[in-house]
Structure 1
Amino acid sequence: MSAHLLYNSPMVQVIIMSIACFLCPGMFNALNAIGGAGQVDRTVANYANTGIYCMFIVSGVFGGAVVNLTGIRWSMFVSGLTYSLYSASYIYLNHTGKGAFTIATGPILGIGAGVLWSAQGMVIMSYPSQDKKGRYISVFWAIFNMGGVVGGIVPFISNFDQGNSHTAVPLSSAAYIVFVALEATGALFALFLAPPKNVIRGDGSYAVLGDHTGVYHEVVETLKVFQNRWMLLLIPMCIVSNFSYSYQWGAYNGSIFTLRTRGLNSMLYWTSQVLAAYVASLIHDCQHLSRRGRGIISLLVVTVLANIMWGTTLVLQRTYTHGPVKDLTTDYPGGLIDFGDPVRAAGPIMLYCFMGAVDALWQSLAYWLIGATTNDSQALARYAGFYKGMQSLGAVIAWQLDAHSVSFMTQLIVNWVIMCVAVPPMGFVAYMLKEQPYNVDPVHNDNWLYKPQTSVSYI
């Protein structure tokens, strides 16, 4: 294979896009996964995240239209820079104690994130053929979540010398500078993406149906997503997908662990996501099962594990009510947990890893289900935006629960209940998946591959 064809192959393009996400939202996740974005008082971070996800609702829904109109390179580049701005704002917060700038960067990042994730969804759901979607989602999830692993190293190393001190301290400005530099690098990496129309699969087929569109067309088609019964059925799934982060990152990791242990937890949390995403790909690409069977089995696995995870968390949550607040430490028995005390730390750290694994299984299934509905790249860009928009709606609610000091136990119960509500409609969508829609082979049928006006539905 020539260098040109290799560069334009779906896998290489997915890897480039994944590295950009590894360095931008991956670092954002790492920063927030340590609780309060590294701050002792989570108030500013909670309001910033609320602003992010409020704007994300709109930018996510219309993000696919922006990507279709402006192209993937520049849309991801500009979006990536908004992550650097957000992280940089915490340096100002550290030096002044004023949170207004950090809170203001939230909506700006929300706009950028909606566009970036729409581009990401379009790439991993439309570039691979139907029999390889699970593999491509797994590759993305592995590279992307390594951002959380690497990002977790920063607070772990920069605060390692605090020992097992039970005094809560904020992340250093030097650590925030590292985050800013990595995210800026990720934005630059997006410029190496090839135009979607040039992406060619191994069998010689083009991955994208067409890239000619207009503003009016995109607005109309985006609004039509809200009339798509399959997307409407999946709204609860979308809402659940990021809802747990405010509880897991703040009420759990940010409340009962020392800062250096929170950094270690972040590394382990995202490492478990990498492994779980690989397991999910084995189910989603198993050719011995029908598409319907793969969807249902994957849903059963994640449902059982999620219930075990929330049940175990409930047992632990009953032992404490708050984390460090100003001059108060947590009321968790024995105070903050440090990994230097393995007897106390082993169980809670393993539970946090389990949370990461369940999240990866859920997210992988969500992308696979949406990607199984069609292979039209433009439609999938809009579907990805819709997914992230509805996901952000749930995140807004979740972050506000923590911002308004809703009890940790109530937050846990809300998470558990909405997860259970989302499962039945997901099962129905999985059950309705078709094996070969309209007797069309989506990989080898030239009429389907090279006519942009032809859109194939898989459901």
Structure 2
Amino acid sequence: MAEAMKYPTTRDNLVEPKVAERPTGWKYKSSKLGPVTLPWYASPESQLILVSLVCFLCPGMFNALNGLGGAGQLSKNAYASDASNSALYATFAVVGFFAGTVTNAVGIRFALSFGGLGYCVYVSSYLCYKHTQNLGYIVFAGCLLGCCAGILWSAQGAIMMSYPPEKLKGRFISWFWMIFNMGAVIGSLVELGLNFGNHDNSTVSDGTYVGFLVLTFLGACLSWTLVDAKHVVRRDGSRIILMKHPTWKTEIFGLWETLWSDPYIILLFPMFFASNWFYTYQFNDVNLARFDTRTRALNNTLYWLAQMFGALIFGFALDFPYVRRTTRAKVAWVVMFVLTFAIWGGGYVFQRKYTREDTKKKDPFFYDWNSEGYVGPMFLYIFYGFYDAAWQTCVYWFMGAISNNGRKLANFAGFYKGIQSAGAAIIWRLDGLGSPPPYMNLFASCWILLAGSLVVALPVMLLKIKDTVPVEEDLRFTDETIEDVIGHEVVYDLPKRERV
């Protein structure tokens, strides 16, 4: 502790950062498209667009496929999809805890490319299953994607939360979410076009799977167009906070150090856990259970389109410049609490109209978009999509408001995706049991988890989110020497000290 007193974490013993001029070279040259000035290639905006397009082509196609319910398989047999996704998220839950460590060690480009290849294999397994009923391959593909996706989402989260300046974090999140969900919208439109005349409940066409296979492979290739984080320059000339020469030892230790130095993050864990829990219910127990194939494709399109609007509205509202960030955090919490009871209250009314036993009848009723009474369920499904985007945007914004340190935020993102996936693994498994719980029980679990997790997270909104995060606070979470690098010039160099 004496050494900590000798080197207190204040600006008095820090060399003030110098705002560097933008480097020369093609990566830093702006271009014009008519009256619009486009950002340079190595800017946070351009890099965000690129990583959004990677997610557009990989997780976006995954969402479009799973949004049909049963990943496009027979409406009465979602067992293969449940088994694959349960394996996927169980693996993801473990890998997610260490994904930030892997991303920091191997770099953004490799992490995204490796993640994208897992989506290719996953899509191919459903095409194979349609013709061979090979359950082993489809479960293996789920396990592999769990490993790949954990690393991809950690890399994406680090970029989205650490690249933008504080005042633009909500906007960056909304931009990402809109581009990413446009992938699911386009994929759903492809499904709708290929299955437009399909009034029954057979599997989707081979062309749907082949199209998704090609697109996911292109996404994996696109990740190599990103630049390393050390080359990214913001508009004010500043760069991203990075550690020089990270080692596996320091990165693994940093994962646990994050929990030690920021234990309040545990209060957000229930929100993480709930954030993918409701997908299984919405995709399998609403869309798959109550709608024919072409109407499921339409619902899927509207669901992901609503996500784009939800991300746009919440992202820009969370960055509203004339209201303090602490106030915005509290207002966001209140709005999410109200939406939870309004939208899921409507879901309760719809769920009371059918049971799991009704769907197992010889000729069960399925809504077509021409059916009487379809409009109400359609709007409910649209609001489910809007709510999902609002929830995910708020969670990312809450984490980004706590810290600006890229290393810490990569670990936050890893915790988020790991815990999120643990919840998803459980609910996919429950839905795939030989005697699955009644639909109403799964619905109730979604509603209770969402509302309860908001209550648990409230102290973070009230006590930990500040109007701005001092750089000293970002830099004191490790015992190792930490350097903030601008180019190759060290502007912060704190001696090793005891934790304070």
Mark yes or no: TM-score above 0.5. yes
Give the deviation of 1:283 after TM superposition.
1.9
- Contact 1:242/1:394, CA 8 A, preserved across alignment: yes
> Of 189, 201, 218, which aligns to 1:185?
218
- Contact 2:174/2:316, CA 8 A, preserved across alignment: no
**Aligned partners of 2:494, 2:168: CA distance in 1, in Å?**
22
- Letter matched to residue 157 of structure 2: G
**Where does residue 237 of structure 2 map in the other structure?**
204
User: Counterparts of 1:102-117 in structure 2 under 5 Å?
Assistant: 102-117=138-153
**Aligned partners of 1:64, 1:374: CA distance in 2, in Å?**
15
Q: Deviations over 1:380-426 (max 9, x none)?
A: 11110111001011111111221121111000001111111111232
- Contact 1:225/1:386, CA 8 A, preserved across alignment: no
> Of 407, 414, 429, which aligns to 2:445?
414
- Letter matched to residue 374 of structure 1: S
Deviation larger for 247-256 or 98-107: 98-107
- Contact 2:404/2:469, CA 8 A, preserved across alignment: no
Cα distance change on mapping 1:160 and 1:452 into 2, 3 Å: farther
**Where does residue 287 of structure 1 map in the other structure?**
321
1:92 equivalent to 2:115? Answer no
Deviation larger for 274-283 or 406-415: 274-283
> Of 366, 369, 372, which aligns to 1:336?
366
Cα distance change on mapping 1:454 and 1:26 into 2, 3 Å: farther
Give the deviation of 1:258 after TM superposition.
0.8
Give the deviation of 1:300 after TM superposition.
1.2
Give the deviation of 1:282 after TM superposition.
2.2
1:436 equivalent to 2:468? Answer yes
- Letter matched to residue 126 of structure 2: Y
- Letter matched to residue 299 of structure 2: N
SS at structure 1 position matched to 2:197: helix
**Where does residue 321 of structure 1 map in the other structure?**
355
User: Counterparts of 1:352-363 in structure 2 under 5 Å?
Assistant: 352-363=381-392
SS at structure 2 position matched to 1:313: helix
SS at structure 1 position matched to 2:134: coil
The structure number with the bigger radius of gyration is 2
Q: Deviations over 1:413-459 (max 9, x none)?
A: 011111111112322111121223458799xxx9897546669xxxx
Q: Deviations over 1:365-394 (max 9, x none)?
A: 000001111111111111101110010111
**Aligned partners of 1:10, 1:210: CA distance in 2, in Å?**
18
Q: Deviations over 1:116-174 (max 9, x none)?
A: 00000000000000100001000000000001101111221111122xx3x31011222
**Where does residue 129 of structure 1 map in the other structure?**
165
- Letter matched to residue 340 of structure 1: N
**Aligned partners of 1:55, 1:125: CA distance in 2, in Å?**
24
**Where does residue 27 of structure 2 map in the other structure?**
4
**Where does residue 104 of structure 2 map in the other structure?**
68
User: Counterparts of 1:21-40 in structure 2 under 5 Å?
Assistant: 21-40=55-74
- Contact 1:254/1:323, CA 8 A, preserved across alignment: no
1:383 equivalent to 2:412? Answer yes
Deviation larger for 227-236 or 383-392: 227-236
> Of 190, 203, 218, which aligns to 1:154?
190
Give the deviation of 1:210 after TM superposition.
3.1
Q: Which runs of 5+ in 2 are unaligned?
A: 1-21, 29-39, 475-482, 496-500
**Aligned partners of 1:103, 1:328: CA distance in 2, in Å?**
29
- Letter matched to residue 406 of structure 1: P
Cα distance change on mapping 1:3 and 1:265 into 2, 3 Å: farther
SS at structure 2 position matched to 1:128: coil
**Aligned partners of 1:453, 1:266: CA distance in 2, in Å?**
51
**Aligned partners of 2:140, 2:343: CA distance in 1, in Å?**
35
Structure 1 vs Structure 2: percent identity of aligned residues?
36
